[in-house]
Structure 1
């Protein structure tokens, strides 16, 4: 048996010790460090309290900064002016709903910046890729439309929260769609995936999306399909649009496809089905099963290296699978791994289900019910967020999964719905809808609930944060975000989707 060494943890698979790195900066010291019951769901009651009840006002924060600098003591704790300022902003959004967008995005929604060809010339613009349960994929242009807008439909935003007229926020732009820009897929769109987001502080000035991965769920007569949507060339959103030529079918399966993830750097995608997970080479169109299971894979996420994939199962397990190329060649040598879980119902008994794949058993975690969403953080290596359908939301360190969650987020409401988590580009906040039709927003680091409000009569199942551009003074200077972060945070936006329609949240 390996001995306990102070400051180190033992990895049984690699048969060696690794140094224990500190938790995510600013995370709560009350987070669980042991996992007595891997299927327990203990939430700190303090995490469910809204931040503004104990937070300082803007004037108070400014006064404290003038007296003490960027770090000051307040409310029996040491705080950063920058972090407290952002939390205060996040707790006071303005929400708009777009008219006549019912059921347009009730399956998937992603915001992207692409090159668009208009009669006025080529330009960069924001576009919403909207998927519905009837299988239609729509392109919705955001902002100015030009003369060709006479051929389409314009959707106008209405202010829905807070009550009364908004004080400082400007009314968001309209969204526009031409009927010819809508594609009819073979079945319900189950997932739209864009290339992984880059952290806010990167030096990459190119924000355009060149490809999108789209999967369909499948039907009674046919299985799910995997497509690549080519957005490299400028898109014509006018009446002569021919998006069907941009859509390329990569692979089809005789199985249900629940979820997917895409790594454009390696030209590989991974899909989650009712029989396990499969790895797809989108250039060659070949596929390899990397995990076989009788439990459906409902959520997936590549890690930063692209060598590992997190798979969230209906049984409540989050399993790490090795998808490196040398592992691909040895697909016949899949290892068997038994996963414990508790059956649903009154008499919860410990049961087992078997996995077969390139699995890292020591990194397996367990949540109380089916996995709803997984999100890897780019700023903090090895950290990822996970939510399950009993309402549990937690932050994990991939290196220390046996020690339990790093952070917990209270107040989330769910029982059976696949609800997507959304993390902003700076990775300060995580947001999610709930089955009670409330939208909630938490601080990733502290776990504090910053915003909780109901402005929709249906569940907000999709969240897509708008990617903010870097703020530069001159080409030869570093991003202004490092010196004046509050200026770059202005005009932050997020798109929300439910059966009731499309919503936009704004902060200023």
Structure 2
């Protein structure tokens, strides 16, 4: 039997004066036609060449046919094979072909293509006509202010970053890391990075990696001796300055079964056997189901931290144990303290963003909310800029907005971020004028903080998965004072470095040049 061809059918109907695709008689004839089985290909889709189309090339006719291919219920059109295939239901077949699999295949194809482009030495400029030579020429002619020149140079450098895999040194080199990274958080100097890894038998382990850089931009990584294991989930992390800057780490641990949740304040020296100093203050607070935490660096609220819980905010003094509880109407998923004043900004599951002035502790009503505004979905991250009149907020609709806190109005939006239901942080680097975020699709995106222009999209080195979302750290001096700006990415059990300098050397060569 001759297979049905939709293009010939359309032409035949036009010759007979039919204006509609289906009539009653056509439907009866369609019911009499035998249907295709599960393992057979669907209707063929090959462009027939008629006398009026003989002067056109076969390539143009096939591309035109594929672009005009109609959607048929229960079938999908493969443009490469130029034909229809049947979509299987997925519950009664060993090798089902579903829309989800087709979409995943397309995403993986796109990721592989972007990885190939990313490995090339010359990359696409972040803006049209933007390159280092042109910027330098404009600067020398006085056509470009210094601030704009520095910002645009950083944009060019970011577009040229290339991926390098880092080898993590450890005292036990016979036991390499095979546990997937879940979260990495750098300290203020980016010489240490606190890591959380998922353990295969359940729970997680956490520790500290030490980074050291040299003037040529090379980076070495060493894992601390002591790793701590827990059967509880780590919800949130932040560095705390108790005895000196970044002396401790604040952890929010979720309870599991008979093990209650808590908030632990751990000294960073606890993770190294070679440190002769005393571990310092070590304490744990019985605070269950803490979604977020933040440490205050303002002298008026010294050694104070906060935790965001279900419909509550707890502010506690780590030394005296004094506690202040604020009741709110939603779960608090994100927090950060301002530096100049003791004000805590909170982001809620309801989309509300509000601030708490710790100097108004005596008020029992909601007048302690210094400012209050909303986004359309659950807030996953809040970041205060150095000006402290502006705040960045990201939500579970993939929206990232810059808010003017004084007028409680969004003044800038950063488009392209993808998130539907995942707790994802955002990262700000004001010296370079950059905003970074990793999406639920496992792509790392960088925007210009000033105008919201998307500068670069970095694909994950591994196939996208819900449990393989990369965690990143960006710093102006990654590895300390001798380091250079760069991006650190942890995904699966691998660690990658994206340096500014294009002549980065891996292995022993980089150590010899330091």
Any conservation in 1 of the 2:315–2:324 contact (CA below 8 Å)?
yes
Shift of 1:393: 0.5
Sort the Cα spacing of 1:236 and 1:307 in 2 relative to 1 into closer, same or farther, 3 A. closer
Query: How many residues matched?
Result: 357
Could you say what the CA RMSD is over the residues aligned between the two structures, in angstroms? 3.4
Which of 108, 127, 135 matches 1:61? 135
Any conservation in 1 of the 2:351–2:374 contact (CA below 8 Å)?
yes
Identify which range, 221-230 or 86-95, moves more after superposition.
Answer: 221-230
Higher strand share: 1
Q: Which position in structure 1 is the counterpart of 2:383? A: 375
CA distance in 2, matches of 1:427, 1:300: 24
Q: Which position in structure 1 is the counterpart of 2:282? A: 248
Does the residue aligned with 2:152 lie in a helix, a strand or coil?
A: helix
| CA deviation string 1:313-343 (max 9, x = no partner) | 111111222222xx3344xx233xxxxxxxx
Q: Which position in structure 1 is the counterpart of 2:436? A: 431
Any conservation in 2 of the 1:439–1:460 contact (CA below 8 Å)?
no
Does the residue aligned with 2:380 lie in a helix, a strand or coil?
A: strand
CA distance in 1, matches of 2:143, 2:127: 24
Q: How does 1:357-396 map to 2 (within 5 A)?
A: 358-360=368-370, 363-378=371-386, 380-396=387-403
CA distance in 1, matches of 2:128, 2:177: 38
Shift of 1:391: 0.6
CA distance in 1, matches of 2:401, 2:125: 18
Q: Which position in structure 2 is the counterpart of 1:136? A: 205
Shift of 1:131: 2.0
Sort the Cα spacing of 1:316 and 1:138 in 2 relative to 1 into closer, same or farther, 3 A. same
Identify which range, 257-266 or 95-104, moves more after superposition.
Answer: 95-104
Query: Radius of gyration: which is bigger?
Result: 2
Any conservation in 1 of the 2:361–2:368 contact (CA below 8 Å)?
no
Does the residue aligned with 1:278 lie in a helix, a strand or coil?
A: strand
CA distance in 1, matches of 2:227, 2:277: 8
Which of 214, 217, 235 matches 2:251? 214
Task: Confirm or deny that 1:271 pairs with 2:307.
Answer: yes
Q: Which position in structure 1 is the counterpart of 2:181? A: 105
Task: Confirm or deny that 1:126 pairs with 2:185.
Answer: no
Does the residue aligned with 2:130 lie in a helix, a strand or coil?
A: coil
Task: Confirm or deny that 1:299 pairs with 2:334.
Answer: yes
Sort the Cα spacing of 1:287 and 1:504 in 2 relative to 1 into closer, same or farther, 3 A. farther
Q: Which position in structure 1 is the counterpart of 2:32? A: none
Q: How does 1:37-52 map to 2 (within 5 A)?
A: 52=126
Any conservation in 2 of the 1:393–1:409 contact (CA below 8 Å)?
yes
CA distance in 2, matches of 1:216, 1:388: 23
Shift of 1:243: 10
CA distance in 2, matches of 1:496, 1:236: 22
Identify which range, 79-88 or 443-452, moves more after superposition.
Answer: 79-88
Does the residue aligned with 1:194 lie in a helix, a strand or coil?
A: strand
Q: Scaled by the length of structure 2, what TM-score is found?
A: 0.62
CA distance in 1, matches of 2:418, 2:309: 25
List gaps (5 residues or longer) in structure 2: 1-123, 168-175, 502-514
Does the residue aligned with 1:81 lie in a helix, a strand or coil?
A: helix
Sort the Cα spacing of 1:445 and 1:213 in 2 relative to 1 into closer, same or farther, 3 A. same
| CA deviation string 1:69-107 (max 9, x = no partner) | 5339xxxxxx93222112111222122344665545304
CA distance in 1, matches of 2:259, 2:270: 30
Any conservation in 2 of the 1:377–1:427 contact (CA below 8 Å)?
no
Sort the Cα spacing of 1:107 and 1:52 in 2 relative to 1 into closer, same or farther, 3 A. closer
CA distance in 1, matches of 2:479, 2:184: 27
Does the residue aligned with 2:193 lie in a helix, a strand or coil?
A: strand
Q: Which position in structure 2 is the counterpart of 1:462? A: 471
Any conservation in 2 of the 1:225–1:251 contact (CA below 8 Å)?
yes
CA distance in 1, matches of 2:349, 2:441: 22
Q: How does 1:202-351 map to 2 (within 5 A)?
A: 209-231=246-268, 237-238=272-273, 245-246=279-280, 248-253=282-287, 255-264=288-297, 265=299, 266-293=302-329, 295-324=330-359, 327-330=360-363, 333-335=364-366
Any conservation in 2 of the 1:429–1:441 contact (CA below 8 Å)?
yes
Sort the Cα spacing of 1:170 and 1:466 in 2 relative to 1 into closer, same or farther, 3 A. closer
Q: Which position in structure 2 is the counterpart of 1:117? A: none
CA distance in 1, matches of 2:186, 2:217: 23
Shift of 1:212: 2.6
Does the residue aligned with 1:61 lie in a helix, a strand or coil?
A: helix
Does the residue aligned with 2:361 lie in a helix, a strand or coil?
A: helix
List gaps (5 residues or longer) in structure 1: 1-49, 73-78, 114-124, 145-167, 197-205, 336-356, 473-487
Query: Whose relative contact order is higher, 1 or 2, with alpha carbons under 8 Å and at least 6 apart?
Result: 1
Higher helix share: 2
Q: How does 1:42-191 map to 2 (within 5 A)?
A: 52-71=126-145, 80-98=148-166, 101=177, 103-111=179-187, 126-133=191-198, 134-143=203-212, 171-178=218-225, 181-185=226-230, 187-191=232-236
